[in-house]
Amino acid sequence: MGLTRLISRWPVLRQLDGDPLGRGKSARSEYTEQLHARTAKADHVVKSVCPYCAVGCAQLVYVEDGRVSQIEGDPDSPISRGRLCPKGAASKQLVTDSGRELKVKYRRPYATAWEELPLEDAMEMIAERVIHTRAETWEDADEHGHKLNRTMGIATLGGATLDNEENYLWKKLCMGLGIVQVENQARI
């Protein structure tokens, strides 16, 4: 590096060149010139909503090469005005974390370990279990002849982290199957 260049990079001199507070161009380096926001290269941005609590902060989901590359608060939202709390701000990790389950896990009765199971087989087996247990525990009527039309052998729990559409369709399916023990986090 030449002496002139070295002197020209001296911060005091650079500040004198029209940046008296030292917060403008004199603070920049070749390295900082190369930096860019991780959202800059996103292929597209999708409007979303934070999946944690019920405030409903709006999110912007940035997608790059088919993967979520960043999640930020959406300043357009009248509720959150672009802010996210530590959980909302960690939601990119929630959706991209390598620890998230990718494959179905199956535990046989009395087994001491998981085994693999294709999703299609799991769905088939679950459908069979529902049909079998339902038939085995079906109640047409109570002891006074009042219609019950239900099974008390199957119960479900959860829904508050699901979408509205998922809750509705699940309730509809349970009503078709006669499953009345349908509950979610609102009960606790």
Partner 1 sequence: MGSNMAEAHPVGFQWAMEGKLAGAKLMHVDPRFTRTSALADLHVPIRAGTDIAFLGGIVNYILEGERWFDEYVKHYTNAPVIVDERYRDTEDLDGLFSGYDEERHVYDTSSWHYAGMEDEETAGERAKGGTKGEQSGHGAVSGMLSSGEPPEEDPTLQHPRCVFQLLKKHYKRYTPERVAEICGCTKEQFVEVAEALCANSGRERTAAIVYSVGWTQHSTGVQNIRAAAIIQLLLGNIGRPGGGIVALRGHASIQGSTDLATLYNILPGYVPMPHAEIDFGLHDYLEGHKGKTGWWGHFDAYFVSLLKSFWGPAAQAGNDFCFDYLPKINGDHSTYHTALHMLDGKVKGFILLGENPAVGSANGRLQRLAMAQLDWLVVRDFYEIESAAFWKDAPEIETGEIRAEDCATEVFLLPAASHTEKDGSFTNTQRLLQWHYRAVEPEGDRRSDLWFTYHLGKKIREKLEESKEPRDRPIQKLTWSYGTSGQYDEPSADEVLREINGVGPDGKALSAYKELKADGSTSCGCWIYCGCYANEENAAAKKTPRDEQPFTAADWGWAWPANRRILYNRASADPDGKPWSERKKLVWWDSEQGKWTGDDVPDFEETKSPHYKPPDGAEAEDAIAGDHPFILQADGRGWLYVPAGLMDGPLPTYYEPHESPFENALYGQRSNPVRQLLRSKENLYNPAGDEAGSDSYPYALTTYRLTEHHTAGGMSRTLAYLSELQPEFFCEISPELADERGLVHGDWATIITARTAIEARVLVTDRMAPLEVQGRTMHQVGVPFHWGSRGRTTGDSANDLLPAALDPNVHIQEDKAATCDIRPGRRPRGPALRELVESYPRVQKGEPA
Q: What residues between 8 and 47 interact with partner 1 by CB under 8 A?
A: 46-47
122, 105 contact by CB (below 8 A): no
> Is residue 166 at the binding interface for partner 1, with CB under 8 A as the rule?
yes
Sequence-distant contacts of 81-88: CB under 8 A, at least 24 apart: 83/57, 84/50, 84/57, 84/59, 85/52, 85/57, 87/50, 87/52, 87/53, 88/50, 88/52, 88/57, 88/59
Taking the least distance from each CB to partner 1, the nearer of 4 and 164 is 164
For the CA atoms of 117, 104, 186, 169, what is the dihedral angle to 10 degrees?
A: -70
Question: Least separation, in Å, of the C-beta of 114 and partner 1?
Answer: 8
Q: Indicate the residue among 26 and 61 with the shorter CB distance to partner 1.
A: 61
Q: Which of 50, 55, 41 is nearest to 71 (CA)?
A: 50
How would you class 63 by CB atoms within 10 Å of its CB: exposed for 0-12, middle for 13-18, buried for 19 or more?
A: middle
Query: By C-beta, is 29 or 149 nearer to partner 1?
Result: 149
Q: Is 143 in the site for partner 1 (CB under 8 A)?
A: no
Kindly tell me which residue out of 8, 16, 25, 137 binds partner 1, with binding defined by CB under 8 A: 137
Residue (17 or 183) nearer to partner 1, CB? 183
Residue ranges in 60-119 that form contacts with partner 1 under rule CB under 8 A: 61, 63, 66-68, 71, 75-81, 83-88, 90, 93-95, 97, 99-114, 117, 119
Q: Is 157 in the site for partner 1 (CB under 8 A)?
A: yes
For tokens 């509809």, name the residue. Answer: 172
Q: How many chain residues interact with partner 1 (CB under 8 A)?
A: 117
Q: How far is the CB of 175 from partner 1 (least distance, A)?
A: 6
Question: Which residues neighbour 6 within 8 Å (Cβ) at sequence distance 6 or greater?
Answer: none
Least distance between partner 1 and beta carbon 136 (Å): 8
